[in-house]
């Protein structure tokens, strides 16, 4: 049995990419090992590990009776596939767990598992947490932030302080900073120069005032650190393909910054449905940018249902006006009862005819 087990492990090591965590684990285990009697001859294990498979197999065969099943030592040289295998032995991981960090989603991203395993809570993590707490981030959000961006611990604390000071010098309020750091943990990874360039881009592109720019950055902090290529495409789509003027674009962007993060192709589809099929003008779209933030099938279902009932009337000069922002509000039940003034059975029947 032990033989086959060893063979399987050697197979796994050959075929799959696994964490070589022996070293870190030994490092983690050293404080424990100092006073303990049950020391595992780690060096010997490792040398055996490096020998060829056949050698190891014969050796294991001989030693099979001598070595009792020692699960404590087994962990030292068996490759592991996730962080959960180390949680019981690592103080850092336990602390992170109690903060609410989702280790499972960290380890799925390349290299992050190894990075987190090397951290030491007192030295690498604690100073950053106190830094964040000093900047107004609530401890409840730590877990979520670290889950999203554990690489924050790689940054220099002085750099982080500089970045915060920069934002403060740009007259971001403390509440704004708190929101920015919580909503977008990647923001602090960007150097001051880079953030400045990004903010400058938005200010120049849309001729924003300082207040509007701060509003934009606070409303959707992810926008500032978004892919530049994507942002350029979105701006092109909004300006050239949809034909919003500079003034319109400015208010649209400040009201709904998320529009810039939607894939441009999808955005154009939505716009063409709203503008051409529903007949809603640019000015009305500016009034309720939520229309463009809603998925197309949702708009289509609701508009066609209203049309069927004869209530699709979006001109505020006439009777029975339905505000476009109401169409995209709430769930289907809310829509059917309060906007379409119908019942859910009718809506279901309607949906089943298409």
Partner 1 sequence: MALTKVYDAATVFKHLNGIINVYKPAGIKVKHVRNAILSNICKGLNELEQREPRRLPKSRLLLGTGTAADTVLHKIAKDTDLSDHILAAGPRYMPDDIRCAAVASLGRHTSGVLLLGLNNGLKQSSLIQRNRPVRVYHVTARMGTATENHLPDSHVTVRANNRHVTAERISGLASSMQASHQRKMYELCGVDLQTQAAYELACKGLLRPADNSQPVVYGIKLIHFERPHFTLELHTINESEQYMAALVHDMAIELRTVAHCSQLRCIRHAHFDVTDSLLRHGWHLPGIVRNMRQQRDVLEAHPQLLEQQRVDLHAAPQ
Q: What residues between 247 and 276 interact with partner 1 by CB under 8 A? A: none
Residues 84, 25 contacting (CB under 8 angstroms): no
Q: Which stretch binds partner 1 (CB under 8 A): 48-56, 177-185, 237-245, 346-354?
A: 346-354
The answer to whether the beta carbons of residues 204 and 235 sit under 8 Å apart is no
Stretch that binds partner 1, among 41-49, 286-294, 302-310, 345-353 (CB under 8 A): 345-353
Which residues have CB under 8 Å from 304's CB, separation 6+? 350, 354
Nearest distance from C-beta of residue 352 to partner 1, angstroms: 6
Residue 77 near residue 45, CB atoms below 8 Å: yes
Rg (CA), the chain: 29
91 binds partner 1 (CB under 8 A): yes
Please state, in angstroms and rounded to a whole number, the distance separating the CA atoms of residues 276 and 273.
5
How many whole angstroms separate alpha carbon 230 and alpha carbon 334? 35
Cβ atoms within 10 Å of 293's Cβ, excluding its own: 14
Minimum distance, C-beta of residue 81 to partner 1, in the bound complex (Å): 11
Min dist CB 16 to partner 1, Å, is 18
85 contacts partner 1 (rule: CB under 8 A):
yes
Taking each helix axis from N to C end, the angle separating 210-219 and 246-255, rounded to the nearest 10 degrees, works out to: 40
Question: How many residues contact partner 1, by CB under 8 A?
Answer: 36
- Calculate the alpha carbon distances from 218 to 21, 289, 299 in Å: 41, 18, 28
Q: How far is the CB of 130 from partner 1 (least distance, A)?
A: 21
Regarding 353 and contact with partner 1 (CB under 8 A), the answer is yes
Residue 31 binding partner 1, by CB under 8 A? yes
β partners of residue 19:
80
- Residue 71 interacting with partner 1 (CB under 8 A): yes
x/- track of binding to partner 1 for residues 92-131 (CB under 8 A):
-xx--x--xxxxxx--------------------------
CB of 169 within 8 A of CB of 214? no
Of the candidate spans 29-37, 54-62, 180-188, 272-280, the one that interacts with partner 1 by CB under 8 A turns out to be 29-37
* 351 binds partner 1, rule: CB under 8 A: yes
159-174 burial, b at 16+ Cβ within 10 Å, e below that, comes to ebeebbebbeeeebee
Q: Which is nearer to partner 1, 155 or 296 (CB)?
A: 296
331 binds partner 1 (CB under 8 A): yes
* Contact residues: partner 1, CB under 8 A: 29, 31-36, 38, 70-72, 82-88, 91, 93-94, 97, 100-105, 297, 331-332, 348, 351-354
């Amino acid at each position: 049995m032990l033989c086959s087990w060893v063979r399987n492990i050697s197979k796994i090591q050959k075929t799959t990419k696994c964490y070589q965590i022996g070293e870190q684990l030994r490092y983690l285990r050293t404080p424990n090992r100092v006073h303990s009697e049950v020391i595992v001859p780690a060096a010997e294990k490792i040398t055996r590990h490096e020998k060829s498979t056949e050698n190891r197999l014969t050796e294991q065969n001989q030693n099979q009776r001598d070595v009792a099943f020692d699960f404590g030592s087994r962990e030292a040289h068996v490759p592991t596939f996730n962080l959960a295998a180390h949680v019981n032995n690592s103080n850092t991981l336990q602390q992170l767990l109690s903060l609410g960090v989702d280790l499972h989603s960290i380890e799925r991203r390349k290299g992050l598992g190894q990075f987190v395993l090397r951290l030491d809570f007192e030295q690498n993590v604690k100073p950053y947490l106190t830094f964040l707490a000093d900047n107004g981030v609530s401890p409840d959000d730590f877990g979520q932030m670290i889950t999203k961006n554990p690489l924050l611990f790689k940054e220099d604390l002085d750099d982080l302080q500089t970045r915060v000071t920069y934002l403060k010098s740009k007259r971001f309020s403390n509440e704004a900073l708190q929101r920015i750091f919580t909503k977008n943990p990647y923001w602090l990874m960007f150097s001051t120069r880079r953030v400045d360039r990004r903010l400058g881009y938005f200010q120049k592109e849309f001729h924003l005032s300082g207040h509007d720019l701060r509003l934009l950055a606070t409303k959707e902090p992810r926008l500032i650190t978004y892919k530049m290529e994507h942002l350029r495409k979105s701006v092109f789509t909004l300006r050239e393909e949809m034909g919003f003027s500079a003034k319109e674009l400015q208010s649209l962007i400040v009201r709904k910054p998320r529009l810039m993060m939607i894939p441009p192709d999808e955005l154009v589809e939505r716009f063409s449905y709203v503008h051409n099929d529903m007949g809603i003008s640019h000015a009305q779209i500016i009034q309720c940018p939520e229309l463009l933030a809603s998925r197309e099938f949702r708009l289509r279902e609701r508009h066609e249902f209203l049309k069927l009932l004869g209530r699709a009337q979006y001109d505020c000069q006439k009777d029975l006006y339905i505000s476009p922002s109401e169409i995209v509000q709430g769930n289907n039940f809310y829509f059917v009862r309060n906007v379409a003034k119908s019942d859910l059975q009718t809506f279901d029947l309607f949906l089943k005819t298409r």
